[in-house]
């Protein structure tokens, strides 16, 4: 069985995972808390924190998996997209290990990996895995895409955001409400007690399968500004309902396009992936939409939704099967190559 050590360091999580075949033996994530007080990720601080965490994180992943470095068949890492200094740490670390142990090296695309998190096999339960071709709504802090995945390594983007990503829509709304970064999980938390029908925000009219969130952000900003002029405690007094209402609109924008994509392609195997797929409102509404439309729906386990190295490992597994290896001249890329 192919054993892989994977490293993810594209943004503000230092992560390592060990996989054997399609099973994840360990999945370690160290989240960088240092960015909270700056209201967003500071690239240089991220690189430094990766340097500090990478050895302990990889050590822990090997220990939990009960695997030694000499047992690893391939070292995998996130090559793009992401913060260049952050990517560099994982890239050079994986390259050094591949060189030292004379094993294969596999570069992985972060967005492709988010999608393939849906193919991870859970050791204890026989989880169902999507059959090909499937649709995937990939929603993260930097991307919002609808993908047709015809095989693990054949993914085609059929819709994407023209401006902000869904995660940004959450985080920027949270910032307007005075909540710390990243605000997505906090909006999710307050929404659980709120009324999603209380306030109405516009759904943008965008052609085809593309998305736009910048108009919604502006509408939200003006709404909060105007309400605060009437009552300076408006946000504090109505936090739950405000969060539930904006979350409900972001979720409906995402799902309406996903339904359209399914109708247009005829594909009823449908997945979600990426950090925003951890959102409880999206998870519930996605399942509901799936029942209504007769889809088979798939959502990665919670810890495989936000940034993690298990998804890098499963992608590297399929690249290994297809003999897609890299040599030591490989370099990271901030943008999608």
Indicate the residue among 133 and 185 with the shorter CB distance to ligand KG4: 185
Indicate the residue among 14 and 245 with the shorter CB distance to Zn ion: 14
Indicate the residue among 85 and 142 with the shorter CB distance to ligand KG4: 142
Binding-site member from 171, 241, 269, 326 for ligand KG4 (CB under 6 A)? 171
Binding of ligand KG4 by 188 (CB under 6 A): yes
Least distance to ligand KG4 from the beta carbon of 120, Å?
15
Three-class DSSP category at 307: coil
Binding-site member from 307, 308, 317, 326 for Zn ion (CB under 5 A)? 307
Binding-site member from 185, 240, 265, 301 for ligand KG4 (CB under 6 A)? 185
Indicate the residue among 18 and 250 with the shorter CB distance to ligand KG4: 250
Contact stretch for ligand KG4 (CB under 6 A) within 45-53, 127-135, 272-280, 286-294: 272-280
Pairing state between β 3-8 and 13-20? antiparallel
Q: Which two tokens stand for residue 11?
A: 């943004």
Indicate the residue among 140 and 248 with the shorter CB distance to ligand KG4: 140
Q: What's 118's DSSP letter?
A: G
Residue 171 binds: one of Zn ion, ligand KG4, none (C-beta under 5 to 8 A by kind) = ligand KG4
Contact stretch for Zn ion (CB under 5 A) within 39-47, 139-147, 233-241, 259-267: 139-147
Say how far apart CA 66 and CA 314 lie, in whole Å.
18
Residue 167 binds: one of Zn ion, ligand KG4, none (C-beta under 5 to 8 A by kind) = ligand KG4
Closest CA to 12 of 59, 37, 44, 57: 44
Say how far apart CA 337 and CA 333 lie, in whole Å.
7
Least distance to Zn ion from the beta carbon of 169, Å?
15
Q: List Cβ neighbours of 126 (8 Å cut-off, separation of 6 or more).
A: none
Residues in 295-334 that interact with ligand KG4 by CB under 6 A: 306-307
Binding of Zn ion by 13 (CB under 5 A): no
Contact stretch for ligand KG4 (CB under 6 A) within 59-67, 137-145, 255-263, 315-323: 137-145
Listing DSSP states for 55-83 in one string gives HHHHHHHHHHHT--GGG-SEEEEEEESS-
Q: Is 149 exposed, middle or buried, given 0-12, 13-18 or 19+ CB atoms closer than 10 A?
A: buried
Q: List Cβ neighbours of 131 (8 Å cut-off, separation of 6 or more).
A: 269
Binding of ligand KG4 by 142 (CB under 6 A): yes
Least distance to ligand KG4 from the beta carbon of 166, Å?
8
Three-class DSSP category at 88: helix
Least distance to ligand KG4 from the beta carbon of 218, Å?
18
Contact at 8 Å (CB) between 306 and 8? no
Binding-site member from 140, 145, 155, 248 for Zn ion (CB under 5 A)? 140
Say how far apart CA 57 and CA 221 lie, in whole Å.
39
Contact stretch for ligand KG4 (CB under 6 A) within 45-53, 60-68, 273-281, 290-298: 273-281
Binding of ligand KG4 by 155 (CB under 6 A): no
Pairing state between β 269-273 and 3-8? unpaired
Helix axis angle for 84-101 and 43-65, nearest 10°, is: 40
């Amino acid at each position: 069985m192919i054993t892989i050590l994977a490293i993810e360091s594209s943004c503000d999580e230092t992560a390592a995972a060990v996989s054997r075949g399609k099973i994840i033996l360990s999945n370690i994530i160290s989240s960088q808390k240092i960015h909270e007080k700056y209201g967003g990720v500071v690239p240089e601080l991220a690189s430094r924190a990766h340097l500090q965490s990478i050895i302990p994180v990889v050590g822990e992943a090997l220990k939990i998996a009960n695997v030694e470095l000499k047992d690893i068949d391939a070292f995998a890492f996130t090559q793009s997209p992401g913060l260049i200094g952050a990517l560099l740490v994982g890239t050079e670390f994986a390259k050094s290990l591949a060189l030292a142990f004379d094993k294969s090296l596999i570069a992985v695309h972060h967005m492709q990996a988010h999608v393939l998190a849906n193919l991870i096999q859970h050791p204890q339960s026989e989880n169902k895995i999507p059959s090909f071709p499937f649709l995937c709504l990939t929603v993260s802090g930097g991307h919002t895409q609808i993908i047709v995945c015809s095989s693990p390594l054949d993914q085609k983007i059929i819709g994407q955001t023209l401006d902000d990503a869904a995660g940004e829509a959450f985080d920027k709304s949270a910032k307007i409400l005075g909540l710390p970064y990243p605000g997505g999980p906090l909006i999710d938390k307050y929404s659980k007690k709120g009324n999603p029908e209380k306030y109405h925000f516009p759904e943008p009219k965008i052609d085809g399968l593309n998305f736009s969130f910048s108009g919604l952000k502006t509408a939200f900003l003006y709404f909060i500004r105007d309400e605060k002029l009437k009552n300076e405690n408006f946000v504090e007094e109505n936090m739950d309902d405000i969060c539930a209402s904006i979350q409900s609109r972001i979720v409906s924008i995402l799902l309406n396009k996903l339904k359209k994509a399914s109708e247009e392609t005829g594909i009823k195997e449908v997945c979600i992936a990426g950090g925003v797929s951890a959102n409880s409102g999206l998870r519930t509404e996605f399942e509901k939409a799936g029942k209504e439309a007769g889809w088979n729906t798939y959502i990665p386990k919670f810890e495989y939704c936000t940034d993690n190295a298990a998804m890098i490992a499963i992608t590297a597994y399929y690249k290994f099967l297809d003999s897609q290896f890299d040599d030591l001249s490989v370099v990271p890329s901030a943008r999608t190559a």
